[in-house]
Every structure is written in C-alpha cells, then in structure tokens.
Amino acid sequence: MGLAGTTESREDDMKRHMRNGLLAGAAMLLATALPAAAQTGRTVSGDVVRIGVITDLSGVFSDQSGKGSVAAAQMAVEDFGGKVLGKPVELLSADHQNKVDIGSAVVREWIDAQGVDLVQDVANSGLALAVADIVRDKNRIAIFNGPSVTRLTGDKCTPNTIHYAYDAYSLAKGTGTQTVKQGGDSWFFLTVDFAFGHGLEENTAAIVKDSGGKVLGAVRFPLNSMDFASYINQAQASKAKIIGLATTGTDARNAIKAASEFGLTQGGQQQLAGLLLFDTDIHALGLEATQGMYLTTAFYWDRNEETRAFSKRFFDRVKIMPNMGQAGVYSSTLAYLKAVEAAGTDEAGAVMAKMKSMRVNDVFVKDGWVREDGRFMREMYLMQVKKPSESKYPWDYYHLRATIPADEAFRPLAQSDCPLVKK
C-alpha cells in the first residue's frame, strides 16, 4: 500500500507539473497576443484621439477665431508628433454659424458617431454654455478659448471643462480699472444683445463701480448690426467720458467706424474702450481710427523672440497674426495631448486629473495652471494702441502698459458660485 501510494503521488506530481506548464505557456502566448497598451493600461478608445474644433468660419467672429483656430489646433497636433500613446490624432472642424442648436447638434454627432474626445474653441458664449452640459453628460472634455462668459467657471462649471484663454472678468478688470485710473470715471455701454455682451457689460460695470466710477446707462443692439447711428447718438447724449464696447468682431468694427463718422471722440470729451478687441480688428480699422484705445489681452505676437517665431509660422498658414484665442487653442491642444500621454488613456476623468495637476509652459503662457473651478490661470496684459507714427512695421500695434498677475486678473475663488469649489 505504501508503494502504491508513492507511485500514485509521483504520477500526480507529474500531471500537476504538466498542467502548470501548459497554463504558463498559455499565459505567455496571451501576453504576446495582447497589444502593449493593454498590458500597461495605456488605452485609447477607438484607437484614435479625435479633436473637434467648433468655431465661427463664416460669421462675425470668423477673423478672431475661424480658420485661425483650426490652424492653431493643427499646428499643435503636428508639433506633438501627430500621435499620442502610439495612436493617431485626428482633427475635425465645423462652423456653428453662431446658432446654438446647430452647434449643439454638431457636437452631439461628433461624440456619438465619431468618438470625439476633445471639443475645442467654441467661439460663441451661448453655445459654450450648451456644450458644457453636453460634455459633462457624455464624459468628454471641452476647452473654451473663444467665449468670454464667466458662467463657465461659475454656476455652469463642470468637471469636464476648462475656460482657457480669457474671460469677461479678466477683460473688464484690465480695461475697466485702467480707464478709471486715467480719469474715465463715467461709462456708457454699447452692448451686443446676447450672453457674451451681457456678461462683458455686467463684469465691466461692476469693476468700474468698485474702482470709484459710475455707469450712466447702456443700449443693446442685435448681433451683426450694420447701422449704429441711433446707438451712437444715445452714447453721445449720455455725456459719459467712456463709451464701452461690450461686443467684438464685425459689430465692434462697425461701432468704431460709426463713432468716428459721427465725431464721437473728436471733441476729446468722450473716448472708446474696446472690451474685446483683437489684432485683426486693429489691422482692419487702421491705427488712425483706433489709436489711444485701451484693450486687455492674454497674448501679443510681438512680445519676444519666442512669440515672434511662433507667429511667423502661423502667419505663413493663415496670413494674419495669431490673437489670444488662437494662441490659446494651440497651447491648450498641446496641454491636452500631454495630459493624455501622462494619463496613459483618453478617458476624460483621467485626462482632466492630469491637466489639473500640470503646469503649462509654452509660447502662450509661462507657469499656467488649471484652478479647481476650471479657470486656466495666467497673467494678462493691458495694451494701448499706438499712434500711426509710432508703428514701425506691419502688425506693430501695441504698447504694453501693464502686466496683471493671474490672481488679480481673474475672479477670486471666494466669489465663485461653482459647485466644484470647496467652501
């Protein structure tokens, strides 16, 4: 019996060794068959990272966003190498036509049918508020460079969104505070009648009052207005020292032209303040019409050698110099791709966690970072438009008058109504 038991035991050991060997071999074969990304946890949904730039390609904001924003995103993808985690990066673009329903439908189709991971630019404040809800519900990411509405980091903030280049508060803080300091202590607003204009007027009015100035009134006009005669007459009648343009794009240009034609500023008693003007606006209107105006920006192409080198590459593609929104698209697209690489996945929660832990250093910003409410923190610049005699070469338009630190440029967290902010 002992001998039989020993024999059986040896046979059992042999079978066990054979079974273990087969299991080990199968495991090795399976490991070899699995993609490297699966073995290391580095995964990309659909084997491609897709970025959708939704912008104004044909309307009043097309110069300040449009094809320039698309080109900026493409430059970022190329500079990153065209791949992330070994998978290709694809870029889509669409024209929202400044209609929330059209833009929302595009974004939903991008996510549901084409697997878009990042929605970029969104150069319309009303659409941006809608997109914030969409990406939250569908667990994707949106980075806003075109809109200015501060609700994106206020009551409409989400874990899936970042407000990157600028906002209405930072623009108002720079231009509003400075003009009051210069003696422009009474204001009247020309305001485009939708979310963007309302927010710009509201933020600037509050800062003017906090700085010791007063607001004498406002008039609102529809988007894409051509006739500003009655609005300029009301501004003149207000006797306000500063006429604040709570608008941008073609509307801002038309308002500035009308103000010049009606002699609003010729008497020296009233002055225009551009609350959201871009290099392309100054270029289109000329220094004769815009000289002396104050404006606030997050980027100026001619600040240093690094910005000039980037801007020349951009100009070669688009034939305009990049503005703060377009430079922001470039920077935030690069930052997103770096976060995907660091996270080892394109899953929105993991990528956002990396973006909020990273510092950004590139041509657009030095030591930028994402605050808990989704506000991207960076310094802002107060510029004054040069006189024609002061400009030495094409696109040489601004004097730098002040650098505003990030913690002063943007709304303090203590004033935030973002539900993500710990009280």
| 3-state secondary structure string across the chain | CHHHHHHHHHHHHHHHHHHHHHHHHHHHHHHHHCCHHHHHCCECHHHCEEEEEEECCCCCCCCCCHHHHHHHHHHHHHHHCCEECCEEEEEEEEECCCCHHHHHHHHHHHHHHHCCCEEEECCCHHHHHHHHHHHHHHCCEEEECCCCCHHHHCCCCCCCEEECCCCHHHHHHHHHHHHHHCCCCEEEEEEECCHHHHHHHHHHHHHHHHCCCEEEEEEEECCCCCCCHHHHHHHHHHCCCEEEEECCHHHHHHHHHHHHHCCCCCCCCCEEEECCCCHHHHHHHCHHHHCCCEEEECCCCCCCHHHHHHHHHHHHHHCCCCCHHHHHHHHHHHHHHHHHHHHCECCHHHHHHHHHHCCECCCCCCCEEECCCCEEECCEEEEEECCHHHCCCCCCCEEEEEEECHHHHCCCHHHCCCCCCCC
Residue 178's pLDDT is 80
pLDDT reading at 167 higher than 60: yes
What's the CATH code, domain 169-297+382-404?
Answer: 3.40.50.2300
Q: Which comes out higher in pLDDT, residue 104 or 266?
A: 104
CATH 3.40.50.2300 in the chain: give the residue spans. 46-166+304-373, 169-297+382-404
Per-residue pLDDT reduced to its tens digit, 49-73: 999 999 999 987 888 899 999 999 9
pLDDT at 13: 53
For 22-31, 191-200, 269-278, 393-402, which range has the lowest pLDDT when averaged over its residues? Answer: 22-31
In this model, does residue 28 exceed pLDDT 60? Answer: no
pLDDT band at residue 181 under the 50/70/90 scheme: confident
46-166+304-373: what fold?
Rossmann fold (3.40.50)
| Res 41: pLDDT | 55
Judged against a pLDDT cut of 50, whether residue 88 lies above it is answered with yes
Per-residue pLDDT band for 5 (boundaries 50, 70, 90) equals very low
Give residue 362's pLDDT: 98
* Position 19 pLDDT exceeds 70: no
pLDDT digits (tens, 9 = 90+) for 189-231: 999 998 888 988 998 999 999 999 999 999 999 988 999 999 9
Between 267 and 299, name the one with better pLDDT. 299
Question: pLDDT for 107-151, tens place per residue?
Answer: 999 999 999 999 999 998 899 999 999 999 999 999 999 998 999
